[in-house]
């Protein structure tokens, strides 16, 4: 390994022996025969990490990320391969390592710091800054077991983040804690990254990987799928995840619709999330992108059309068509209907769609769907007029059957609505 490298990994592999029964371990020792199968958590992993470089590691749960970091930090033995390091390694793999519930916060700072490789002198020198960062000054001499989960997270992360390593390994530690403290921790990690420390950063949050890292590696099933520029790798990873989520949600919606149709056919009087008198039936609902391709995963600002197919058993003039959008916990985000329509200029007017007879469809078009990131449910309904009091009086009403997901490229704001605004700046004398 040359002197510009902080970490070099060559053909690293880790295998676990899987026994069907505990007795098979003893049988294998006695009879010298194999009674186990092998599970390769890692297989032929190779990469180099330069001094002062910040590298991200991404991949789904079970991909092998944590196994990799445990081997690199020295807490897990490898099966084969070579790991070379040049510098002191500090790893935040599991918050709370070395902390004891019966001891006070003060005592646990010393214990946790020593587990992370700090000397007593280092801990004493940094003690005040650790406590200040945790914001637990008034609780520091109370038993650790009396702390809330959030308070325990604050103290353990505060100790871990005050280590001065040459190589810093972080595994999903930022996922813990309240939003305020996560932001504070992120600022500290950013300071460490800017200080010239070599960092290996594992996270499911691809935005953070793009923001903090120059390079990234993508691991799946214990192997490296790709490595290179962080922005390129995370975008490729997100593309695959989005495609799989699209398939999952589409299949879920299709199975749900098929199940409800079967229930209705067998016992129409007992259907629980479809209501109505049946003069007009909603036969199919699609969500279409700008190319009229059916999808269930969209990005903030996409053009989205909700296509409602119907079958009308008789000519019916100007029925009211409506939709409702719900969050997963049942909050109505938007309610839209033809009897109270607002155009893009905010002008309200009734929309008349003419006579419904036989088969047809209606499109409800969002030129820019401004929902925030998250999962949502869609309700659709056809009713005789705007004064219908109950779902049972409608022609047909599908209540929160259809699920879809909204994502956002860039910073993942946790909001319900991405509201468009105009900006104005004026200087005062």
Cα gap 303→320, rounded to integer Å = 23
Residue 225 and residue 277 in one domain: no
pLDDT tens string, the chain, 429 residues long: the values are 677 888 999 999 999 988 888 888 888 888 888 888 889 999 999 999 998 898 999 998 889 998 998 899 888 899 999 999 888 787 777 666 668 889 999 999 998 888 877 889 999 999 999 999 989 999 999 999 999 888 888 888 888 878 777 888 887 655 556 667 777 777 787 788 778 788 898 888 788 888 888 899 999 999 999 999 998 999 899 888 888 888 887 787 777 666 666 655 555 444 555 678 889 999 899 999 999 999 988 998 999 999 999 999 899 999 999 999 999 888 899 888 888 766 666 656 788 899 999 999 999 999 999 898 888 999 999 988 766 656 778 898 888 888 898 988 766 556 778 878 888 878 898
Residue 192 and residue 318 in one domain: no
Indicate whether 161 belongs to any domain. Answer: yes
The pLDDT value given to residue 222: 93
Collect all residues with Cβ–Cβ distance below 8 Å to 120 and sequence separation of at least 6: 110, 114
Strands 54-58 and 198-202: what pairing?
parallel
Indicate whether 416 belongs to any domain. Answer: no
Cα gap 234→206, rounded to integer Å = 6
Which of 219, 239, 259 is at the close of a domain? 239
Indicate whether 415 belongs to any domain. Answer: no
Cβ–Cβ under 8 Å, residues 42 and 68: yes
Closest residue by Cα to residue 55 from 238, 229, 221: 229
Cβ–Cβ under 8 Å, residues 89 and 73: yes
Residue 15 and residue 78 in one domain: yes
Helix, strand, or coil here: 255?
A: helix
Closest residue by Cα to residue 312 from 353, 352, 356: 356
Residue 197 and residue 56 in one domain: yes
The pLDDT value given to residue 265: 55
Tokens 């999903």 -> residue: 172
Residue 228 and residue 286 in one domain: no
Indicate whether 229 belongs to any domain. Answer: yes
Residue 143 and residue 16 in one domain: yes
Residue 66 and residue 194 in one domain: yes
Residue 151 and residue 283 in one domain: no
The pLDDT value given to residue 61: 86
Residue 123 and residue 23 in one domain: yes
Cα gap 417→373, rounded to integer Å = 9
Cβ–Cβ under 8 Å, residues 12 and 71: yes
Tokens 């975008």 -> residue: 235
The pLDDT value given to residue 159: 87
Taking each continuous run of H as one helix and of E as one strand, the counts in the chain are 8, 20
pTM: 0.68
The pLDDT value given to residue 340: 75
The whole domain housing 323 covers: 273-407
Indicate whether 421 belongs to any domain. Answer: no
Strands 167-171 and 89-92: what pairing?
parallel
Q: What is the CATH number of the domain that holds 297?
A: 2.70.50.60
Residue 235 and residue 311 in one domain: no
Indicate whether 105 belongs to any domain. Answer: yes
80 token code pair: 């084969």
The pLDDT value given to residue 257: 66
Indicate whether 232 belongs to any domain. Answer: yes
Indicate whether 245 belongs to any domain. Answer: no
Cα gap 85→79, rounded to integer Å = 18
Tokens 């969209």 -> residue: 298
Cβ–Cβ under 8 Å, residues 251 and 353: no
The pLDDT value given to residue 232: 92
Residue 60 and residue 151 in one domain: yes
The pLDDT value given to residue 1: 65
Radius of gyration of the chain (CA): 29
Q: Which residues pair with 360 in a beta bridge?
A: 310
- Total domains in the chain come to 2
Q: What is the CATH number of the domain that holds 205?
A: 3.40.50.300
Residue 206 burial (C-beta neighbours within 10 Å; 0-12, 13-18, 19+): buried
CA distances, 282 to each of 152, 261, 267, 307, 427 (Å): 53, 11, 18, 10, 56
Residue 183 and residue 304 in one domain: no
Cα gap 13→64, rounded to integer Å = 10
Helix, strand, or coil here: 242?
A: helix
């Amino acid at each position: 390994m040359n002197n510009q490298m902080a970490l070099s990994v060559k053909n690293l592999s880790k295998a676990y022996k899987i026994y069907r029964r505990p007795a098979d371990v003893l049988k294998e020792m006695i009879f010298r025969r194999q009674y186990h199968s092998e599970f390769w958590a890692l297989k032929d992993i190779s990469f180099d990490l330069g001094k002062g470089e910040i590298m991200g590691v991404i991949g789904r749960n079970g991909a092998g990320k944590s196994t990799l970091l445990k081997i690199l930090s020295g807490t897990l033995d490898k099966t084969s391969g070579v790991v070379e390091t040049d510098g002191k390694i500090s790893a935040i793999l599991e918050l709370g390592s070395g902390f004891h519930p019966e001891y006070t916060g003060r005592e646990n700072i010393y214990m946790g710091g020593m587990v992370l490789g700090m000397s007593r002198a280092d801990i004493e020198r940094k003690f005040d800054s650790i406590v200040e960062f945790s914001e637990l000054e008034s609780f520091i001499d109370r038993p650790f077991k009396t702390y809330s989960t959030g308070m325990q997270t604050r103290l353990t992360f505060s100790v871990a983040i005050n280590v001065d390593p040459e190589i810093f390994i972080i595994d999903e530690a930022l996922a813990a804690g309240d939003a305020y403290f996560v932001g504070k921790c992120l600022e500290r990690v950013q300071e460490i990254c800017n200080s010239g420390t070599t960092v290996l950063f594992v996270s499911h949050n691809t935005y953070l990987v793009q923001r903090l890292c120059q390079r990234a590696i993508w691991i799946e099933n214990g192997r490296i799928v790709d490595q290179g520029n962080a922005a390129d790798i995370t975008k490729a990873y997100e593309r695959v995840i989005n495609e799989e989520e699209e398939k999952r949600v589409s299949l879920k919606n299709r199975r749900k619709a098929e199940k409800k149709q079967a229930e209705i056919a067998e016992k129409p009087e007992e259907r629980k999330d479809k209501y109505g008198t049946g003069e007009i039936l909603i036969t199919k609902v699609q969500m279409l992108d700008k190319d009229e391709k059916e999808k269930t995963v969209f990005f903030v600002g996409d053009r989205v059309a909700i296509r409602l197919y119907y079958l009308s058993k008789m000519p019916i003039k100007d029925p009211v068509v409506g939709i409702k959008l719900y969050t997963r916990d049942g909050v109505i985000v938007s309610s839209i209907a033809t009897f109270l329509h607002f155009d893009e200029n905010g002008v309200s007017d009734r929309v008349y769609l003419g006579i419904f007879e036989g088969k047809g469809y209606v499109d409800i078009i969002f030129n820019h769907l401004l929902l925030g990131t998250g999962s949502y449910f869609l309700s659709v309904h056809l009713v005789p007029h705007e004064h219908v009091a109950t779902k049972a009086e409608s022609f047909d009403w599908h209540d929160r059957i259809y699920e879809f997901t909204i994502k956002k490229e860039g910073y993942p704001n946790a909001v319900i609505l991405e509201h468009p605004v105009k900006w104005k700046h004026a200087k005062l004398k």
